[in-house]
Structure 1
Amino acid sequence: MAKRGRKPAPNILKIQAGVRRDRINPDTPPVIPGLAEPPVPLSAAARAEWDRILPLLNESGLVSLTDGVALAIYCVAYGRWVEAEGHMTREGRVLTDAKGVPRVSPWFKIARDASDDLRRMASEFGLTPSSRSSLRVPKQPGKPNSLEAFIEGCNRSRKRRDGPKDGA
């Protein structure tokens, strides 16, 4: 029987989200750092996504050598989605059959299924806005936080524009 309720988050995501220490499983197997090779041959679009996303996930500590299959599933879904959207762009979303009756392109279902798979797998790696919103990544020395830098820049320009606030 399947487990009920929400799926437990990986320890790294719990730590980054600032979860209490007693909610983190100390007996989780250790993460094996490193970059995996794709376990299956990938289409050109899927391989390009693999090459793009793997270094980003590795830098954030969200992927290990053991995550190759899950990441390959994400990349294959991405490749299918790109292919299906390309076909629909060229051929249209509605096709006419031999009798002249309009029908939905079979590529529409392929694109929809691939986007569902893509969304599910993306949330596993913290790649969606909602899954990322619960993360709290510790500051790294020497790396400015882009949101804080943006807010500071806005505050500086507002101070220059509005002048001193003390009534002088």
Structure 2
Amino acid sequence: MAGVHQLTPVVGNAAACHALGLWRGTLARGRARSRRAALLGPPAPRPALPPPPLALTPCEQQVLLGTLNSERFVDTAPAAVHATLLDEGHYLGSVRTMYRLLAANGGCHERRNQRRHAVYSKPELLAVAPNFEMESAVGLLLLKSAQFVTEWFLSNQNLSEEEQEGNLLHDLRAPRRMTCFDESCR
């Protein structure tokens, strides 16, 4: 707020608030709040809200939580548990109450066993020349619009993998002259 107060005489209220990422009305609300506090004193603390009259008692919450975590319903969604219990003639709470109770006790995540997916790294592409890309891991040439192929690729076809990797590292540092095999390039 001190920055807004310093910038306001120079650039104006709206520009100062915009420069600092505040809403225009922030300054006016702050002034009104300070005037109100000067006239009436600090605001009175709000009383705590009484508990809802239809809230479950701790005993009922334990019964519902025990039912949700029982062997019978451990892999079942709260909506299906609610429907099953209603079919049997029992009502322990609403579906939303079941979700609320599970969230309060750390059971609101996916309750079934989940498959863990492997983490794959994104392939990195290296630019050797304009309109020409090479995949760093495999050395695969990606032919772009001009259909260029380097002399390196042609000269290294009959070499072993170790020699090709050595030439690849050398050629990445100092790319050779590009050869075009497409008629539109000549």
- Which one scores higher on RCO, CA 8 angstroms, separation ≥ 6? 1
The structure with the largest helix share of the pair is: 1
TM-score range, shorter chain: under 0.3
TM-score norm. by structure 2 comes to: 0.19
Q: Which has the higher strand share?
A: 2
Q: Which has the larger radius of gyration?
A: 2
